A and B are shown apart, each in its own frame.
Chain A
Amino acid sequence: MTLTYVLAQNLRRSPLRTTLTAVAFALPMGIFVAAISLVAGLREAALANERELRLAVHHRITLTNILPEGMRRKIEALDPQRERLTAVCGMRWFGGRRPNSQNTLTTLAADMDTFPVVYGDVGMTAEEIDAWRKERRAAVVGMNLAEEARLAVGSRFSLESSIPPYLELEFMVIKIMPQDSKASLMYFRRDYLEDALREADFPLSGCNIFWVKCTGAPAMATLQREIDALFANSPNETVTQDENAFISNFVQATGNIPGLIQMISLVVVFIIALIAGNTVMMSFRERVRELAVFKAIGFPSGRILGMVLGESVLLAVSGSLLGVVPVSLGLAIHPVKGLFLGPIGGLKVSPIGVVGALSMAVLIGLAAGIWPALQAWRLRTVDALRAAA
């Protein structure tokens, strides 16, 4: 009679209870694995951004204020030897919409010369950079956008701006960005936009934001202070933040869904722990006599403790698998997109999520089972047999 056999038998003893517990476990575990995957995805995106060492410089009052182009030269002049600062790329919001659609896409016009340098993580090859420089209407499009609009390299498409003067511009795709974090973004050339604005007699020219690529973390810290000091008390006072801080402002604004999911996952863990504890305690109470018999036959107390703990962990893990597997398969086949989840392309199952959820299940199984297991270990055979009889 092996441990596994005994454990399995115990679970088969009351199939109804086992099923109910498994389902009661599986549902919150499904949520939990999605939540951990989301957290892992966001963490990865944040780390990727940290590696890129970019600072975002925008107007102190509001991001929608236009900053004059000349500010870029002033920022670059802070470090003429290029020891701390590699390049500066100015960007202007376009807010394009597909004709006949109400969805505003994240479309930005970027400085032609420095975009490939500051946004090196986009991974433009030498030919693509060449195409970017040669083609005025060049556009770099994210995966999600390309899928939705069925675009390929070389496709032409037009977007209408949602801000004055409501220009409609035509673009040509020269690259599709493979990264998750850029899946819903589109970049094109700012000189193309400025020319069109000039033709439309729109007086305001400049950028909404300057991206400063730095050489290292200490450089980022000093440059952050220096840039804001440079423009203090001028009509264009700035606020300089690192990329993660900048993005988190937007995530907060759209209802902070990641925050919500994280909060709920805490509640979920709490609930699962309670359900597990409840079930194990109930099953233990019913089996006092049986465990006493085991002891009477000669099973050592340690083995009995192992049996109770083992059953608890087995129940927890099988319940979790019931929840984790369908959710993981579901997310793997069809990742959830477009839920304002932040700088990630979509909610995908991450291996960390699965491992995290299963480890949590084992932990909860252990925690729930430890008290009954200790009681089983300390069980006095004679008393237990007498009481049960």
Chain B
Amino acid sequence: MSLSLVYHWRNLLARRMTTLLTVLVVAAVVATFTWMFSFTLALRKTLAVAGDSEKIIVLRRGSTSEAQSAITVAEFNRLSQIAEIARGDGGALLLSPESLVQVNRPRRRDQGASRANLAVRGVLPVALQVHRNVRLSAGRLFREGVQEVIVGAAAARQFTGLEVGSQIELGFAGDRSYVVVGHFTADGGPLESEIWGYLPTLMNTYNRTQYSSVAVRLTPGTDVPAVLRQIEGPAIQLAGLTEAEYWSSQSRIVNIYLAVAAGLVIVMFIAAVFSVAITMFSAVAGRVREIGMLRTLGFQRSAILSGFVIEALMLSLLGGVLGCGVCAAWLRLAGGEKDVYGTSTFTTLAFDIHLTGWTVLGSLACVVLLAVAGALAPAWRASRVNIITVLREA
């Protein structure tokens, strides 16, 4: 037979201070870990959206980002040689020339105290067919030849002054006023952090004669590496990347940030494991006679071992739930909106951190691991107690 849960619960309550302190340690570690976990998941989710295998981003040879690339009109025209380009409504080739500039906007979360660079992309209407996941969510599309823009939903959420109907200043000197006429969503991907306008108008505003990049949609089932080789070949002489490759290269900085954070959290986890171990060892030491009596009554060693592990589990799960609660409260208070700069784009990728059910489950799973790791040695010692010796210490 096994020990009842009520027994374990009462034992935890018997040493209230110790229980409380250990619960707090676990809670602190879990709160930090859950935040990191949610951050990573949110970023991965955003980048995963930008993983369309049939969309290629064409840049100048040697460029690492759209912001640093310049493609002449002649080079753009050479791209139409590719046989595998898909065709859209009316038979038009799904080739979208784009021009990328930046604008500096105040963040909403600290009432405009800090600013970040947002990407402004000049596109032609064909871009909506190339970037299939871009859909209008409010207002309407910009008219051609007019100073109007549409703003990505994530950008509108996280930065001030981008509501439908507001005006933003673009241009080198910030002297061309553009009106926001709509919002768009892009499945939560990186494009949602951008502002889109009509290509020729924006190129004129920024005095540009060359495109920054070209987005190409290929027919389904094409051999993508072969097309990339053709783009890099002597006929076209540009560089091609699948969308997934492009965005994952931009998240290199964030990966470093996450690696540092992960390292720190792992160290803290180990400290929490040791903390649980200390508590359990002390609990065992204080209850040796009780264990001896339980053994005399007929409880098996396995029951004692699992009993102590269960106690540690209860302790840690309490801490885990508290930690997730603290993390949720923190996200609610400080806001779950983060933005990070791409490695070479100099523009920001905005995303929202949410505490989802899966994140909580993941954290609690780690808590279970923590509890078992910390409690195994003390529980083992408890189960190996010599009944006669401990009962003699009367």
Contact = CB atoms under 8 A, between A and B. Distances in A.
Contacts of A261: 260, 264
Interface in A222-271: 234-237, 252-255, 257, 260-261, 264, 267-268, 270-271
B174 A279 contact: no
21 contacts: A20-B277, A62-B104, A64-B102, A95-B68, A104-B344, A162-B63, A164-B68, A235-B172, A253-B116, A255-B256, A255-B340, A260-B260, A271-B25, A271-B271, A271-B272, A274-B28, A275-B278, A278-B21, A279-B278, A282-B282, A339-B260
A162 B64 contact: yes
Contacts of A254: 253, 257, 341
B22 interface: yes
A65 B24 CA distance: 51
B322 interface: no
A273 B346 CA distance: 41
Contact of A60 (B17, B174, B271, B346): B174
B68 A252 contact: no
Given A27-B270, A28-B268, A281 B281 contact: no
Contacts of A271: 25, 28-29, 268, 271-272, 275
Contacts, number: 144
**Top 3 closest pairs, chain A to chain B, by CB:** A24-B274, A255-B257, A235-B173
Interface in B6-55: 17-18, 21-22, 24-25, 28-29, 31-32
Interface of B: 17-18, 21-22, 24-25, 28-29, 31-32, 60, 62-64, 68, 70, 102-104, 114, 116-117, 169, 171-175, 253-254, 256-257, 260-261, 264, 267-268, 270-272, 274-275, 277-279, 281-282, 285-286, 340-341, 344, 346, 348
A88 interface: no
A157 to B, nearest CB: 18
Given A17-B281, A166-B60, A278-B278, 11 more contacts: A17-B282, A21-B278, A24-B275, A62-B102, A64-B346, A160-B62, A235-B172, A261-B264, A267-B32, A275-B275, A286-B282
A268 B103 CA distance: 39
A207 to B, nearest CB: 15
A81 interface: no
Contacts of A27: 267-268, 270-271, 274
A23 interface: yes
Contacts of B340: 255
